[in-house]
Structure 1
Protein backbone atom coordinates (compact mmCIF):
# COMPACT_ATOMS: atom_id res chain seq x y z
CA UNK A 1 0.00 0.00 0.00
CA UNK A 2 1.25 3.48 -0.85
CA UNK A 3 1.95 6.21 1.71
CA UNK A 4 -1.15 8.04 0.43
CA UNK A 5 -3.21 4.89 0.90
CA UNK A 6 -1.96 4.43 4.46
CA UNK A 7 -2.82 8.04 5.28
CA UNK A 8 -6.35 7.58 4.01
CA UNK A 9 -6.77 4.42 6.09
CA UNK A 10 -5.49 6.26 9.16
CA UNK A 11 -7.90 9.14 8.53
CA UNK A 12 -10.86 6.76 8.23
CA UNK A 13 -9.82 4.97 11.42
CA UNK A 14 -9.45 8.25 13.31
CA UNK A 15 -12.80 9.50 12.06
CA UNK A 16 -14.51 6.26 13.09
CA UNK A 17 -12.85 6.32 16.51
CA UNK A 18 -14.03 9.88 17.16
CA UNK A 19 -17.53 8.99 16.00
CA UNK A 20 -17.69 5.89 18.20
CA UNK A 21 -16.45 7.71 21.30
CA UNK A 22 -18.88 10.58 20.70
CA UNK A 23 -21.83 8.22 20.30
CA UNK A 24 -20.95 6.47 23.54
CA UNK A 25 -20.83 9.78 25.41
CA UNK A 26 -24.05 11.02 23.82
CA UNK A 27 -25.88 7.89 24.88
CA UNK A 28 -24.46 8.01 28.39
CA UNK A 29 -24.78 11.74 29.11
CA UNK A 30 -27.15 13.08 26.48
CA UNK A 31 -26.21 15.12 23.42
CA UNK A 32 -26.76 18.52 25.02
CA UNK A 33 -24.57 17.70 28.03
CA UNK A 34 -21.58 16.34 26.12
CA UNK A 35 -18.77 18.70 25.12
CA UNK A 36 -16.29 18.56 22.27
CA UNK A 37 -13.51 18.59 24.87
CA UNK A 38 -14.91 15.42 26.44
CA UNK A 39 -15.15 13.73 23.06
CA UNK A 40 -11.56 14.69 22.24
CA UNK A 41 -10.38 13.32 25.58
CA UNK A 42 -12.26 10.06 25.10
CA UNK A 43 -10.78 9.62 21.60
CA UNK A 44 -7.33 10.80 22.76
CA UNK A 45 -7.10 13.46 20.09
CA UNK A 46 -7.01 17.26 20.11
CA UNK A 47 -10.23 19.28 20.05
CA UNK A 48 -9.10 20.69 16.71
CA UNK A 49 -8.90 17.16 15.31
CA UNK A 50 -12.50 16.52 16.30
CA UNK A 51 -13.74 19.71 14.60
CA UNK A 52 -11.60 19.06 11.53
CA UNK A 53 -13.47 15.80 10.96
CA UNK A 54 -16.82 17.00 12.30
CA UNK A 55 -17.33 20.79 11.97
CA UNK A 56 -20.57 20.70 14.01
CA UNK A 57 -21.35 18.63 17.07
CA UNK A 58 -24.53 17.46 15.32
CA UNK A 59 -22.35 15.89 12.62
CA UNK A 60 -21.01 13.51 15.25
CA UNK A 61 -24.52 12.28 16.03
CA UNK A 62 -25.63 12.00 12.40
CA UNK A 63 -22.47 10.43 11.03
CA UNK A 64 -24.23 9.01 7.94
CA UNK A 65 -26.10 12.15 7.00
CA UNK A 66 -24.63 12.31 3.49
CA UNK A 67 -26.05 8.89 2.70
CA UNK A 68 -29.39 9.98 4.17
CA UNK A 69 -29.77 13.24 2.23
CA UNK A 70 -28.77 11.63 -1.08
CA UNK A 71 -30.74 8.39 -0.70
CA UNK A 72 -34.00 9.36 -2.46
CA UNK A 73 -32.28 11.15 -5.32
CA UNK A 74 -30.01 8.16 -5.88
CA UNK A 75 -33.02 5.84 -5.92
CA UNK A 76 -34.65 7.90 -8.68
CA UNK A 77 -31.44 8.11 -10.71
CA UNK A 78 -30.96 4.32 -10.45
CA UNK A 79 -34.55 3.38 -11.43
CA UNK A 80 -34.83 0.71 -14.08
CA UNK A 81 -36.15 1.02 -17.64
CA UNK A 82 -39.88 1.74 -17.61
CA UNK A 83 -39.88 2.30 -13.85
CA UNK A 84 -41.50 5.46 -12.49
CA UNK A 85 -40.10 7.61 -9.70
CA UNK A 86 -42.94 6.43 -7.47
CA UNK A 87 -42.23 2.78 -8.23
CA UNK A 88 -38.53 3.16 -7.52
CA UNK A 89 -39.06 5.07 -4.29
CA UNK A 90 -41.69 2.63 -3.06
CA UNK A 91 -39.44 -0.37 -3.75
CA UNK A 92 -36.47 1.37 -2.17
CA UNK A 93 -38.43 2.27 0.94
CA UNK A 94 -39.86 -1.21 1.39
CA UNK A 95 -36.44 -2.79 0.87
CA UNK A 96 -34.88 -0.47 3.47
CA UNK A 97 -37.63 -1.36 5.94
CA UNK A 98 -37.18 -5.08 5.31
CA UNK A 99 -33.43 -4.71 5.93
CA UNK A 100 -34.11 -2.57 9.02
CA UNK A 101 -31.78 0.03 7.58
CA UNK A 102 -30.71 2.82 10.01
CA UNK A 103 -31.19 5.32 7.16
CA UNK A 104 -34.90 4.39 7.18
CA UNK A 105 -35.13 5.07 10.92
CA UNK A 106 -34.01 1.79 12.52
CA UNK A 107 -31.56 3.43 14.93
CA UNK A 108 -32.33 1.41 18.05
CA UNK A 109 -34.07 2.57 21.22
CA UNK A 110 -31.10 4.34 22.86
CA UNK A 111 -30.18 6.38 19.79
CA UNK A 112 -33.83 7.15 19.01
CA UNK A 113 -34.37 8.36 22.57
CA UNK A 114 -31.26 10.51 22.34
CA UNK A 115 -32.66 12.28 19.29
CA UNK A 116 -36.13 12.66 20.79
CA UNK A 117 -34.68 14.15 23.99
CA UNK A 118 -32.45 16.66 22.20
CA UNK A 119 -34.02 19.83 20.74
CA UNK A 120 -30.83 20.41 18.75
CA UNK A 121 -30.86 16.97 17.14
CA UNK A 122 -34.61 17.12 16.48
CA UNK A 123 -34.15 20.36 14.54
CA UNK A 124 -31.14 18.93 12.74
CA UNK A 125 -33.10 15.85 11.69
CA UNK A 126 -35.83 18.03 10.19
CA UNK A 127 -33.22 19.96 8.23
CA UNK A 128 -31.77 16.69 6.90
CA UNK A 129 -35.24 15.69 5.70
CA UNK A 130 -35.48 19.08 3.97
CA UNK A 131 -32.11 18.60 2.27
CA UNK A 132 -33.15 15.13 1.15
CA UNK A 133 -36.26 16.61 -0.49
CA UNK A 134 -34.17 19.30 -2.20
CA UNK A 135 -31.86 16.66 -3.66
CA UNK A 136 -34.85 14.60 -4.76
CA UNK A 137 -36.39 17.62 -6.47
CA UNK A 138 -33.15 18.21 -8.38
CA UNK A 139 -33.09 14.56 -9.47
CA UNK A 140 -36.71 14.82 -10.67
CA UNK A 141 -35.87 17.95 -12.67
CA UNK A 142 -33.08 16.04 -14.40
CA UNK A 143 -35.27 12.95 -14.89
CA UNK A 144 -38.14 14.86 -16.50
CA UNK A 145 -36.28 17.67 -18.25
CA UNK A 146 -38.41 20.19 -16.39
CA UNK A 147 -37.59 23.88 -16.65
CA UNK A 148 -36.06 25.68 -13.68
CA UNK A 149 -39.32 27.41 -12.81
CA UNK A 150 -41.55 24.32 -13.04
CA UNK A 151 -43.14 23.65 -9.67
CA UNK A 152 -44.00 20.03 -10.49
CA UNK A 153 -40.69 18.41 -9.46
CA UNK A 154 -40.65 20.36 -6.22
CA UNK A 155 -44.25 19.43 -5.45
CA UNK A 156 -43.59 15.78 -6.30
CA UNK A 157 -40.46 15.76 -4.13
CA UNK A 158 -42.45 17.23 -1.23
CA UNK A 159 -45.11 14.52 -1.58
CA UNK A 160 -42.63 11.65 -1.96
CA UNK A 161 -40.45 13.05 0.81
CA UNK A 162 -43.52 13.46 3.01
CA UNK A 163 -44.25 9.74 2.85
CA UNK A 164 -40.67 8.96 3.80
CA UNK A 165 -40.86 11.42 6.71
CA UNK A 166 -44.03 9.79 8.00
CA UNK A 167 -42.58 6.29 7.69
CA UNK A 168 -39.34 7.37 9.40
CA UNK A 169 -41.29 8.97 12.25
CA UNK A 170 -43.47 5.88 12.59
CA UNK A 171 -40.41 3.64 12.89
CA UNK A 172 -39.02 5.94 15.57
CA UNK A 173 -42.36 5.96 17.38
CA UNK A 174 -42.56 2.17 17.43
CA UNK A 175 -38.94 1.92 18.52
CA UNK A 176 -39.52 4.24 21.48
CA UNK A 177 -42.63 2.22 22.37
CA UNK A 178 -40.40 -0.81 22.88
CA UNK A 179 -41.33 -2.79 19.78
CA UNK A 180 -38.69 -5.13 18.33
CA UNK A 181 -37.10 -4.71 14.90
CA UNK A 182 -39.01 -7.47 13.07
CA UNK A 183 -42.35 -6.26 14.43
CA UNK A 184 -41.54 -2.67 13.51
CA UNK A 185 -40.54 -3.75 10.01
CA UNK A 186 -43.80 -5.65 9.55
CA UNK A 187 -45.96 -2.72 10.71
CA UNK A 188 -43.97 -0.04 8.88
CA UNK A 189 -43.87 -2.07 5.68
CA UNK A 190 -47.63 -2.46 5.61
CA UNK A 191 -48.23 1.19 6.42
CA UNK A 192 -45.69 2.34 3.81
CA UNK A 193 -47.54 0.29 1.20
CA UNK A 194 -50.78 2.04 2.18
CA UNK A 195 -49.17 5.47 2.00
CA UNK A 196 -47.59 4.90 -1.40
CA UNK A 197 -50.84 3.47 -2.75
CA UNK A 198 -52.47 6.85 -2.12
CA UNK A 199 -50.07 8.40 -4.64
CA UNK A 200 -50.59 5.94 -7.48
CA UNK A 201 -53.43 7.81 -9.21
CA UNK A 202 -51.49 11.08 -9.34
CA UNK A 203 -47.88 9.97 -9.69
CA UNK A 204 -47.99 6.44 -11.09
CA UNK A 205 -46.47 7.45 -14.43
CA UNK A 206 -44.44 10.45 -13.28
CA UNK A 207 -40.73 10.47 -14.25
CA UNK A 208 -40.97 7.05 -15.88
CA UNK A 209 -37.59 5.99 -17.21
Structure 2
Protein backbone atom coordinates (compact mmCIF):
# COMPACT_ATOMS: atom_id res chain seq x y z
CA UNK A 1 0.00 0.00 0.00
CA UNK A 2 1.45 3.36 -1.03
CA UNK A 3 2.11 6.27 1.29
CA UNK A 4 -0.37 8.32 -0.71
CA UNK A 5 -3.08 5.72 -0.13
CA UNK A 6 -2.37 5.67 3.62
CA UNK A 7 -2.51 9.46 3.65
CA UNK A 8 -5.87 9.50 1.92
CA UNK A 9 -7.26 6.96 4.36
CA UNK A 10 -6.12 9.00 7.33
CA UNK A 11 -7.61 12.13 5.81
CA UNK A 12 -10.90 10.30 5.24
CA UNK A 13 -10.94 9.15 8.86
CA UNK A 14 -10.37 12.69 10.10
CA UNK A 15 -13.13 14.00 7.86
CA UNK A 16 -15.55 11.31 9.05
CA UNK A 17 -14.72 12.00 12.67
CA UNK A 18 -15.21 15.74 12.20
CA UNK A 19 -18.51 15.23 10.37
CA UNK A 20 -19.83 13.02 13.19
CA UNK A 21 -18.72 15.59 15.76
CA UNK A 22 -20.31 18.48 13.85
CA UNK A 23 -23.65 16.70 13.45
CA UNK A 24 -23.62 15.66 17.10
CA UNK A 25 -23.02 19.23 18.23
CA UNK A 26 -25.88 20.52 16.11
CA UNK A 27 -28.26 17.92 17.55
CA UNK A 28 -27.11 18.53 21.12
CA UNK A 29 -27.75 22.25 20.73
CA UNK A 30 -31.16 21.68 19.16
CA UNK A 31 -32.46 18.90 21.41
CA UNK A 32 -30.19 18.86 24.43
CA UNK A 33 -27.50 16.31 25.20
CA UNK A 34 -29.64 13.88 27.18
CA UNK A 35 -32.43 13.75 24.59
CA UNK A 36 -30.11 13.01 21.68
CA UNK A 37 -29.24 9.37 20.96
CA UNK A 38 -26.33 7.75 19.19
CA UNK A 39 -28.84 6.57 16.56
CA UNK A 40 -29.89 10.19 15.99
CA UNK A 41 -26.28 11.21 15.43
CA UNK A 42 -25.55 8.26 13.14
CA UNK A 43 -28.59 9.10 11.06
CA UNK A 44 -27.67 12.75 10.74
CA UNK A 45 -24.08 11.90 9.79
CA UNK A 46 -25.22 9.06 7.49
CA UNK A 47 -23.01 6.48 9.10
CA UNK A 48 -23.63 3.31 11.12
CA UNK A 49 -24.06 3.51 14.89
CA UNK A 50 -20.93 1.36 15.23
CA UNK A 51 -18.98 3.95 13.25
CA UNK A 52 -20.00 6.62 15.74
CA UNK A 53 -18.95 4.52 18.72
CA UNK A 54 -15.69 3.53 17.03
CA UNK A 55 -14.69 7.16 16.84
CA UNK A 56 -16.35 8.21 20.11
CA UNK A 57 -16.65 5.35 22.64
CA UNK A 58 -18.41 7.67 25.08
CA UNK A 59 -21.35 9.84 24.15
CA UNK A 60 -19.99 12.61 26.38
CA UNK A 61 -16.89 12.79 24.20
CA UNK A 62 -19.06 13.79 21.27
CA UNK A 63 -20.03 16.90 23.20
CA UNK A 64 -16.63 17.51 24.78
CA UNK A 65 -14.65 16.85 21.64
CA UNK A 66 -11.49 18.51 23.00
CA UNK A 67 -11.38 16.23 26.05
CA UNK A 68 -7.93 14.79 25.34
CA UNK A 69 -6.34 18.21 24.81
CA UNK A 70 -8.11 19.50 27.90
CA UNK A 71 -6.95 16.66 30.17
CA UNK A 72 -3.35 17.03 29.02
CA UNK A 73 -3.30 20.83 28.82
CA UNK A 74 -1.64 21.81 32.09
CA UNK A 75 0.99 19.07 31.90
CA UNK A 76 1.85 19.95 28.30
CA UNK A 77 2.19 23.64 29.14
CA UNK A 78 4.64 22.84 31.93
CA UNK A 79 6.52 20.24 29.88
CA UNK A 80 7.18 22.81 27.14
CA UNK A 81 8.42 25.58 29.43
CA UNK A 82 11.76 27.16 28.50
CA UNK A 83 14.85 27.25 30.74
CA UNK A 84 14.41 29.57 33.70
CA UNK A 85 10.62 29.28 33.82
CA UNK A 86 8.74 27.70 36.73
CA UNK A 87 5.68 25.47 36.58
CA UNK A 88 3.55 28.41 37.71
CA UNK A 89 5.10 30.65 35.08
CA UNK A 90 4.36 28.11 32.36
CA UNK A 91 0.72 27.73 33.38
CA UNK A 92 0.33 31.49 33.65
CA UNK A 93 1.83 32.10 30.21
CA UNK A 94 -0.23 29.33 28.59
CA UNK A 95 -3.44 30.70 30.10
CA UNK A 96 -2.71 34.21 28.85
CA UNK A 97 -2.11 32.82 25.35
CA UNK A 98 -5.34 30.82 25.48
CA UNK A 99 -7.23 33.98 26.42
CA UNK A 100 -5.72 35.82 23.46
CA UNK A 101 -6.73 32.97 21.15
CA UNK A 102 -10.24 32.70 22.64
CA UNK A 103 -9.49 29.01 23.03
CA UNK A 104 -12.59 26.80 23.53
CA UNK A 105 -10.50 24.49 25.72
CA UNK A 106 -10.50 27.10 28.50
CA UNK A 107 -14.20 27.90 28.10
CA UNK A 108 -14.78 30.02 25.00
CA UNK A 109 -17.54 27.75 23.73
CA UNK A 110 -20.39 30.17 23.05
CA UNK A 111 -23.47 30.72 25.19
CA UNK A 112 -25.64 27.97 23.68
CA UNK A 113 -22.94 25.34 24.04
CA UNK A 114 -22.18 26.38 27.63
CA UNK A 115 -25.89 26.17 28.46
CA UNK A 116 -26.10 22.72 26.88
CA UNK A 117 -23.35 21.51 29.21
CA UNK A 118 -24.78 23.03 32.38
CA UNK A 119 -28.22 21.61 31.57
CA UNK A 120 -26.87 18.04 31.53
CA UNK A 121 -25.87 16.40 34.81
CA UNK A 122 -23.95 13.82 32.76
CA UNK A 123 -21.80 16.45 31.06
CA UNK A 124 -21.25 18.38 34.29
CA UNK A 125 -19.96 15.17 35.89
CA UNK A 126 -17.77 14.40 32.87
CA UNK A 127 -16.30 17.89 32.93
CA UNK A 128 -15.52 17.49 36.63
CA UNK A 129 -13.75 14.22 35.84
CA UNK A 130 -11.73 15.89 33.08
CA UNK A 131 -10.61 18.60 35.49
CA UNK A 132 -9.43 15.85 37.84
CA UNK A 133 -7.55 14.18 34.98
CA UNK A 134 -5.98 17.54 34.13
CA UNK A 135 -4.66 17.86 37.69
CA UNK A 136 -3.48 14.24 37.84
CA UNK A 137 -1.54 14.55 34.57
CA UNK A 138 0.24 17.64 35.91
CA UNK A 139 1.04 15.92 39.21
CA UNK A 140 2.55 12.94 37.36
CA UNK A 141 4.74 15.24 35.28
CA UNK A 142 5.98 17.24 38.25
CA UNK A 143 6.67 14.08 40.23
CA UNK A 144 8.59 12.60 37.30
CA UNK A 145 10.64 15.77 36.92
CA UNK A 146 11.55 15.61 40.59
CA UNK A 147 12.93 12.13 39.99
CA UNK A 148 10.00 10.25 41.47
CA UNK A 149 6.82 8.53 40.42
CA UNK A 150 3.58 8.06 42.36
CA UNK A 151 3.75 5.45 45.11
CA UNK A 152 1.88 2.79 43.15
CA UNK A 153 4.51 2.99 40.39
CA UNK A 154 7.48 2.91 42.79
CA UNK A 155 6.27 -0.31 44.38
CA UNK A 156 7.27 -2.16 41.20
CA UNK A 157 10.60 -0.40 40.65
CA UNK A 158 13.93 -2.15 40.65
CA UNK A 159 16.42 -1.08 43.35
CA UNK A 160 18.26 2.04 42.26
CA UNK A 161 15.88 2.82 39.42
CA UNK A 162 15.18 6.36 40.73
CA UNK A 163 18.45 7.86 41.90
CA UNK A 164 18.54 11.17 43.70
CA UNK A 165 20.27 14.11 42.13
CA UNK A 166 23.37 13.34 44.21
CA UNK A 167 23.62 9.94 42.54
CA UNK A 168 22.40 8.03 45.58
CA UNK A 169 19.01 6.46 45.89
CA UNK A 170 16.77 8.71 48.04
CA UNK A 171 15.24 7.44 51.22
CA UNK A 172 11.62 6.32 51.11
CA UNK A 173 10.60 9.38 53.13
CA UNK A 174 12.40 11.73 50.74
CA UNK A 175 10.85 10.08 47.71
CA UNK A 176 7.34 10.18 49.09
CA UNK A 177 7.85 13.75 50.22
CA UNK A 178 8.76 14.89 46.73
CA UNK A 179 5.69 13.18 45.29
CA UNK A 180 3.44 14.85 47.85
CA UNK A 181 4.97 18.24 47.10
CA UNK A 182 4.43 17.68 43.37
CA UNK A 183 0.82 16.74 44.03
CA UNK A 184 0.33 19.79 46.26
CA UNK A 185 1.68 22.17 43.61
CA UNK A 186 -0.44 20.50 40.93
CA UNK A 187 -3.50 20.82 43.17
CA UNK A 188 -2.94 24.57 43.61
CA UNK A 189 -2.40 25.19 39.91
CA UNK A 190 -5.36 23.01 38.93
CA UNK A 191 -7.61 24.71 41.48
CA UNK A 192 -6.76 28.11 40.02
CA UNK A 193 -7.32 26.77 36.52
CA UNK A 194 -10.65 25.22 37.49
CA UNK A 195 -11.93 28.42 39.10
CA UNK A 196 -10.88 30.52 36.13
CA UNK A 197 -12.71 28.08 33.84
CA UNK A 198 -15.88 28.42 35.93
CA UNK A 199 -15.64 32.20 35.99
CA UNK A 200 -15.18 32.33 32.23
CA UNK A 201 -18.13 30.00 31.66
CA UNK A 202 -20.37 32.01 33.98
CA UNK A 203 -19.60 35.16 31.98
CA UNK A 204 -20.27 33.36 28.71
CA UNK A 205 -23.60 32.13 30.09
CA UNK A 206 -24.44 35.68 31.14
CA UNK A 207 -24.14 36.74 27.51
CA UNK A 208 -20.95 38.80 27.71
CA UNK A 209 -19.07 39.11 24.42
CA UNK A 210 -15.73 37.37 24.09
CA UNK A 211 -13.62 40.53 24.26
CA UNK A 212 -15.25 41.59 27.53
CA UNK A 213 -14.82 38.08 28.94
CA UNK A 214 -11.15 37.97 27.93
CA UNK A 215 -10.48 41.39 29.47
CA UNK A 216 -12.14 40.43 32.75
CA UNK A 217 -10.36 37.07 32.94
CA UNK A 218 -7.02 38.69 32.16
CA UNK A 219 -7.38 40.86 35.27
CA UNK A 220 -8.67 38.01 37.43
CA UNK A 221 -5.99 35.57 36.29
CA UNK A 222 -3.26 38.11 36.97
CA UNK A 223 -4.49 38.53 40.53
CA UNK A 224 -4.87 34.78 41.12
CA UNK A 225 -1.41 33.92 39.78
CA UNK A 226 0.17 36.83 41.66
CA UNK A 227 -1.21 35.38 44.89
CA UNK A 228 0.30 31.98 44.09
CA UNK A 229 3.70 33.41 43.20
CA UNK A 230 5.15 33.70 46.74
CA UNK A 231 4.19 30.11 47.56
CA UNK A 232 5.12 28.15 44.43
CA UNK A 233 6.77 30.63 42.06
CA UNK A 234 10.18 29.06 42.69
CA UNK A 235 9.05 25.46 42.26
CA UNK A 236 10.10 23.36 39.26
CA UNK A 237 12.18 26.08 37.61
CA UNK A 238 13.76 24.50 34.56
TM-score normalized by the length of structure 2 = 0.86
* Mean CA deviation greater in 146-155 or 55-64: 146-155
- After TM superposition, the structure 1 = structure 2 runs for residues 135-150 of structure 1, keeping only pairs within 5 Å, are 135-146=137-148, 148=150, 149=176, 150=179
Structure 1's consecutive aligned runs of 4 or more residues displaced over 3 angstroms after TM superposition are none
User: Is the 2:140–2:149 contact (alpha carbons within 8 Å) kept by the matching residues of 1?
Assistant: no
SS at match of 1:2: helix
Where do 5+ consecutive residues of structure 1 fail to align?
Answer: none
2:197 to 168, 185, 195: 168
Q: Verify the 8 A CA contact 1:73 1:135 in the aligned structure 2.
A: yes
Aligned to 1:96: 98
Alignment partner for residue 24 of structure 1, among 14, 23, 26?
26
**Runs of 5+ consecutive residues of structure 2 not aligned to the other structure:** 151-175
Aligned twin of 2:231: 202
Paired position in structure 1 for 2:208: 179
- Could you say what the CA RMSD is over the residues aligned between the two structures, in angstroms? 1.0
Aligned length: 209
Look at both structures and tell me which one has the larger radius of gyration over its CA atoms. 2
**Distance across 2 between alignment mates of 1:12 and 1:98:** 27
C-alpha separation in 2, matches of 1:144 and 1:160 = 17
Alpha-carbon distance in structure 2 between the residues aligned to 1:11 and 1:147: 36
53, 58, 61: which one pairs with 2:60?
A: 58
Deviations 1:133-181 (A, max 9, x none): 0100011112222454321111111110000000000010000011000
TM-score normalised over the length of structure 1: 0.97
- Equivalent residues of 1:77, 1:143 under 8 A apart: no
Residues 152, 54 of structure 1: CA spacing in aligned structure 2 closer, same or farther, 3 A cutoff? same
